[in-house]
Amino acid sequence: MNQLASKVLIAVDNQECTDAAIQSALARQWEPDTTFLLCKVVEDFGSLVSIYENEHSEVLRAEQEAYTYEMRLWLSQMTADFAKVQPQVESCLEFGRAAEKLCEVAYSWGADYMIIGSHDLELASRCSLGSIASAVLRNAPCSVESVRSRELRNLFREKGAASVQEIAHIATPPPKTIIVATDLSPAAEFALNWVVGMNWHPATIFRIVTVMLPNHKDIRTHWFGGGSVYIKEKLHLNQIEAQLKKQAKQLAEKHGYDKVEADLVMADSAAEAIFELANDCQAQLVVTGAQGANRSPEARAGSTAISILERLHCSMIAVQSDSPKQVSFTWR
């Protein structure tokens, strides 16, 4: 195998959100020699077995053995179907906590990109179930794409697709509207450069947005604290607007000036503002840097990126700026 080939890890499960992740992956043209790894994590019943005694523990062991056997067969069939479209694919069955194991596999296998299907639930339901996608984003060594499954699930119901091969022949619509969320940090600029370098569908519209938080948001409507403070704040606003326009121009020069809009939003919460914008313009995808301007040195992803992911009803890509290799693809 080409040592420079991209490695894409796809988290799979026998649920509809996996169908979304698989369909989305197969709807794209990947770089030559891209290798895929389908990873299924089985929750280990061991902790429960240690709690119960005798007959209960035996029942739990038997149930886990039966479930594991079923999942091995399922994963083998899914891998075989996937290989009919993307031959360079392997699979692995792991045991433990899903998010933790997925990140371990991403590190050990050297993944450059991870795709994970995410249930399109209301925020309260996502929090109560525990968001695997959010936990993965916190610790993954590579860029992470969370594929929301609501629209794709409807597509499955309309088309009646059942196998991976059938899914591959259903043209997943490329994103019509993409929001590029930026805080103008180096990590956000890296994510923008990744978007600029990609070959998106010619009809795709881009909204590049930055959010001003409370310490600066009143500048447009209030004169506060005297002239010197106003001038300082006004200069800060002008700098942000200039940087935003510069990044929008960079995107427009590649994809067309009629395809790019820039938004400077005043809000108390960056994540909430981006969520509302995504809903208002019915975006299919949000792209952001995994870290922000105020990143913690030990964190793989910032709190804003995680908060955005937990709110969205559309797909999201969090671009990891210090990943050794950045993956490239084209929507078919």
- In order of their start, the domains of the chain are 1-169 (3.40.50.620), 173-332 (3.40.50.620)
H or E element, residue 212:
strand 205-212
Across the beta sheet with 89-95, what order do the strands follow? 89-95, 35-42, 7-11, 113-118, 143-148, 315-319, 285-289, 177-181, 205-212, 260-266
Contact present, 311 and 181 (Cβ < 8 Å) = no
pLDDT tens track, the chain, 332 positions: 455 689 999 999 877 678 778 888 988 999 999 999 999 998 876 554 555 555 566 777 778 788 889 999 999 999 998 998 899 999 999 999 899 999 999 999 999 999 998 765 544 344 433 368 888 998 899 999 998 855 655 655 676 554 555 554 444 678 899 999 999 888 899 999 999 999 998 999 999 999 987 665 444 444 444 444 455 667 778 888 999 999 999 999 999 999 999 999 988 889 999 999 999 998 999 999 987 544 444 444 578 888 898 888 889 999 998 777 889 999 87
Amino acid 321: pLDDT = 85
pLDDT of residue 131: 67
pLDDT score, position 63: 80
Closest C-alpha among 318, 314, 287, 292 to residue 303:
292
- So what's the pLDDT on residue 283? 92
Residue 202's CB is within 10 A of a number of other CB atoms, namely: 9
Give me 25's structure tokens.
Answer: 């992956």
Other beta carbons less than 10 A from residue 268's beta carbon: 10
CA torsion, ordered 13, 14, 15, 16, to nearest 10 deg? 100
Task: With beta carbons less than 8 A apart as the criterion, state whether 218 and 224 touch.
Answer: yes
User: What pLDDT was estimated at residue 178?
Assistant: 96
CA–CA separation, 243 and 293 (whole Å): 15
**pLDDT score at 54:** 56
Q: Which class for 43: exposed (0-12), middle (13-18), buried (19 or more C-beta within 10 A)?
A: middle
Q: Output the pLDDT for position 160.
A: 59
Q: What stretches of 62-202 adopt beta strand conformation (E)?
A: 89-95, 113-118, 143-148, 177-181
Q: Cα dihedral angle (100, 103, 107, 110), rounded to 10 degrees?
A: 150
What residues form DSSP beta bridges with 315?
A: 285
Task: Tell me how far the alpha carbon of residue 184 is from its chain's centroid.
Answer: 20
Whether the pTM exceeds 0.85: the reply is no
